[in-house]
Amino acid sequence: MDLEKLRHSCAHVLASAVKELYPKIKLGIGPTIENGFYYDFDLSGIKITEDDFPRIEAKMKEIISKSLDFRPVKLSPEKIKEFLKKEPYKKELYEDFKKESKNITFFGHGDFIDLCKGNHVSNTKEIKVFKLLKTAGAYWKGISSNPMLTRIYATAFPAEKELKDYLKNLEQAESRDHRLLGKQLDLFSFHEESPGSVFFHPKGAIIYNELLGFIRSEYKKRNYQEVITPLIYSKSLWETSGHWKLFKENMFLLNMDDKEASLKPMNCPSHVLIYKSSIKSYRDLPLRIADFAPLHRNELRGVLSGLFRARKFQQDDAHIFCSEEQLESEINSVLDFINYIYKKVFDFDYEVELSTKPSKSLGSAELWNKAESILKKVLVKNKLVYKVNPGQGAFYGPKIDFHIKDALGRKWQLSTVQLDFAMPSNFEITYEGSDGKKHTPIMIHRALLGSLERFIGILLENYAGKLPVWLSPVQVILLTINDKNLKFAREIKKKLEENEVRVELNDKQETISRKVRDAQLMKIPYIITIGDKESESKTLAVRTLDGKVKFNLKVENFIEELKEKIKSRK
């Protein structure tokens, strides 16, 4: 069954039910989205909450039970005028559509009519399983100066079981919500004084710095060179790069030396300036410039979403400047890097998409052909199955996207490897070839984890907070059963610290079961209870988060195994 048709039809039914129950409301839009659909309403002062869902769902069922056909509706110009007069948002859409096309269509079921391009099931009775999920505020057209509408999220499935599975997954995802985990584990907070920018607490900063240190250590092995760059740039830079025209809305603007400037939303032009700061020859290429600079994007408040969508974030960003001849081996290295991180370190499955030359593009057809065939060749060489998105590349070059699948089966786009034929020529950067002539290098934009903030959010939800030991803010906690064991506990603590293990000691006057429970809530991977037996035999009882306990471990053996695990990032 076509889920798209089913959900789109169900959105119509939702709109008709709400309209019947609250005749005064005005209709916004009602598209399908991943896993469901929504409909936006201007409630004209009425309030709808999740408490009203049973009533709306009952009305929807009533409508469905009438077995109404979905049908195109031909309206006379007068009828259209009448419809649009009652529905001001539809009127705005109608006028927008009219600029693009003469053929604007309406569809209906029963008495309900909607401005719509079609794609429905044939009859309401085909809608068997649906559920309203939640409400949210949403600006009309996503623009904050527009009215705030009420959005009702819902979903529909062909069969009950599928809905149940989906809801179960959703519940699981909610219990893993990184915003809740962030609070529970004392990793980060958000504050009204800087909406959308994360305050990483000490424990969150440890995760952040471990990830960054990991990428940095790989950069050393893979011959990337880190730079540290300014955050504010003059308008003139963004004009050259093209961002002023295309991205200005998303930048935080400010004045520098009485002229327009902005906080950088991306690093590329910074690296071009460094490239340009000295004359380059073919011997300097490939040049792999990496940067962890904080980036800022002025996202609307309504779309901010914890670590997933923040206004300030840092990427594991790098730009590779290379010659055409070096393209293949550079792309190959990047794919190896990605596979190493996703598969070897985090054990994520991932999918690959290649987006090719769009109709409007920059750079010769020859260069595009060559580049695309190199990308394909390298993908095949790396035994990567990939989907082609024809014509979906950026105007300045083809790209490869990587989507990982998390423990709940959700997909996340992380890496992009993007060729750029435009920026090098916009900024007029060159290198002297071995032929003594000037050439323009190709620029490869690449980020592997993407935004570190977002990646931490994904990790937290993927592992339900039980991070791999190398990323855990506290790796070991020692719990004393009574004060007699304190001396041995302190010895162990000192030894662990000498081995750079992050360890805490809980010597509070509490029951051991309470201490264990607290440590489990904090998702500490190794929980060591120290009682008389351990103090006397100088051994350890180690509990892991899967509930298993190993007794009589020799201290040295435990430390060695732990160190190995941390070092190998397993």
Binding site residues, its own copies, CB under 8 A = 144, 186, 189, 191-195, 197-202, 204-206, 208-209, 225-234, 236-237, 252-258, 263, 269-270, 273-274, 277-278, 289, 294, 296, 298, 301, 311-312
**Quick one: tokens of 188?**
């980060």
- Residue 509 a catalytic site member: no
Bridge partners (DSSP) listed for residue 418? 399, 445
Cβ 193 to its own copies shortest distance, Å: 4
Beta sheet of 106-109, edge-to-edge order: 71-73, 106-109, 112-115
Q: Which is nearer to its own copies, 262 or 356 (CB)?
A: 262
Cβ 263 to its own copies shortest distance, Å: 8
- Residue 221 a catalytic site member: no
Q: Which is nearer to its own copies, 280 or 399 (CB)?
A: 280
**To the nearest 10°, the Cα dihedral for 250, 247, 318, 442?**
180
Which residue in the list 288, 297, 502, 515 is annotated as catalytic? Answer: 297
**To the nearest 10°, the Cα dihedral for 174, 178, 182, 184?**
20
CA 419, CA 243: separation in Å to the nearest integer? Answer: 17
Instruction: Please name the residue that has the structure tokens 């394909």.
Output: 376
Cβ 202 to its own copies shortest distance, Å: 4
Q: Which is nearer to its own copies, 126 or 518 (CB)?
A: 518
Which residue in the list 315, 326, 418, 475 is annotated as catalytic? Answer: 315
Give whole-number Cα distances, 484 to 492, 531, 532, in Å.
Answer: 14, 8, 8
Question: How many other CB atoms are there within 10 angstroms of residue 199's CB atom?
Answer: 13
Which residue in the list 311, 445, 446, 454 is annotated as catalytic? Answer: 445
Q: Spell out the long-range contacts of 82-91 with Cβ–Cβ below 8 A and sequence spacing 24 or more.
A: 83/113, 83/115, 86/26, 87/26, 87/27, 87/115, 88/26, 89/26, 89/27, 89/28, 89/29, 89/42, 89/140, 90/27, 90/114, 90/115
CA 550, CA 570: separation in Å to the nearest integer? Answer: 19
Q: Please, is 335 exposed, middle or buried when counting C-beta atoms within 10 Å of its C-beta (0-12, 13-18, 19+)?
A: buried
- Residue 268 a catalytic site member: yes
- Residue 445 a catalytic site member: yes
Cβ 210 to its own copies shortest distance, Å: 12
Which residue in the list 268, 280, 418, 446 is annotated as catalytic? Answer: 268
Q: Which is nearer to its own copies, 72 or 195 (CB)?
A: 195
Q: Which is nearer to its own copies, 113 or 198 (CB)?
A: 198
- Residue 319 a catalytic site member: yes
Q: Which is nearer to its own copies, 198 or 566 (CB)?
A: 198
Instruction: Please name the residue that has the structure tokens 């994360």.
Output: 198
Which residue in the list 317, 401, 406, 420 is annotated as catalytic? Answer: 317
Q: Which of 376, 559, 398 is nearest to 478 (CA)?
A: 559
Which residue in the list 26, 280, 319, 543 is annotated as catalytic? Answer: 319
From first CA to last CA, the distance across the chain in angstroms is: 42
Cβ 450 to its own copies shortest distance, Å: 17
Backbone phi and psi for residue 3, each to the nearest 5 degrees, phi listed first: -60, -35
Which residue in the list 399, 454, 502, 543 is annotated as catalytic? Answer: 399
Cβ 232 to its own copies shortest distance, Å: 6
Residues 403 and 413: beta-carbon distance below 8 Å: yes
Q: Which is nearer to its own copies, 239 or 349 (CB)?
A: 239
CA 459, CA 402: separation in Å to the nearest integer? Answer: 16
- Residue 86 a catalytic site member: no
Encoded amino acid at 312, one letter = K
- Residue 297 a catalytic site member: yes
Cβ 458 to its own copies shortest distance, Å: 18
SS3 189: strand
Q: Which is nearer to its own copies, 144 or 172 (CB)?
A: 144
Cβ 243 to its own copies shortest distance, Å: 13
Catalytic residue numbers, as ranges? 268, 297, 315, 317, 319, 399, 445
